[in-house]
Amino acid sequence: FDRAYPYAKLDVAAVPNFGAGAMENAGFITFREELLLLDPTRASMNARRAMASVMAHELAHQWFGDLVTMVWWNDLWLNEAFASWMSDKIVDEWRPQTRARVYAVASKAGVMAEDALASVRRIRNPVRSTGEAEESFDAITYSKGRAVLSMTEAWVGEDAFRDGLRRYIKDHAWGNATSDDLFASLAQASGGRPVAAVMDSFTSQTGVPQVTASVTCPKAADGHAAAVIHLSQREYQTLDRRDPPGDKLWRIPVCLVYGGAATPRAPKPTPTLEKQCTLLETTQADVPLGTAGCPSFVYPNAGEAGYYRVHLSATQLKDLTATAALGRLSEQERFGVLSNAWAEVWSGELPATDFLALLDHFKYESSRLVWGQIIDALTSVDRALVSDDARPALARLVRKILGPVGRRLGWNPKPDESESDDRKLLREAVLGALGSLGDDDWTLKNARRVADAWLSDPTKTDPDLARIALPLAARRGDAALFERLRAAHANPGTPETRLLALAGLSGFEDPALVERTLGLILDRTIKVQDFRYVFFPLATRRATRDLTFAWMQRHFDELTVAVPAFLRRRFIGVAGAMCDRRRVQAVETFLRPRLENIEGAERNARQSVEEGLRCAALAEKEAPATSRWLIGLASAGH
Which region, left, alpha or beta, applies to residue 2 given φ > 0 means left and ψ of -120 to 50 means alpha?
Answer: left
Q: How far is CA 182 from the centre of its chain?
A: 27
Catalytic residue among 24, 34, 58, 134: 58
* E-assigned strand segments in 413-526: none
Q: Which 8-state DSSP code applies to residue 388? A: T
Give which of 338, 345, 397 is closest to 362, Cα–Cα. Answer: 338
- CA-only gyration radius of the chain, Å: 25
Q: For the chain, what is the total number of helices (H) and then of strands (E)?
A: 28, 12
Alpha-carbon distance values, 436 to 383, 399, 430, 616, 626 (Å): 12, 11, 10, 22, 19
Q: Is 229 helix (H, G, I), strand (E, B) or coil?
A: strand
Strands 309-311 vs 284-288: parallel, antiparallel or unpaired: unpaired
Exposure on the CB side of residue 535, measured as CA atoms within 13 A:
25
Give the dihedral sign, CA 289/292/297/302: negative
Q: How far apart are CA 387 and CA 603, in angstroms?
A: 32
Give start and end residues of each alpha helix (H) in 264-359. 314-320, 323-326, 331-346, 352-358
Spatial separation of the C-alpha atoms in residues 355 and 347, rounded to whole Å: 13
User: Across the strands, what pairs with 17?
Assistant: none
Residue type, 481: L
**Distance of alpha carbon 134 from the chain centroid:** 21
DSSP assigned state of 64? B
Q: What's the CA dihedral at 83, 131, 563, 15 to 10 degrees?
A: 30
Does residue 58 have an active-site annotation? yes
Residues tagged active-site? 58
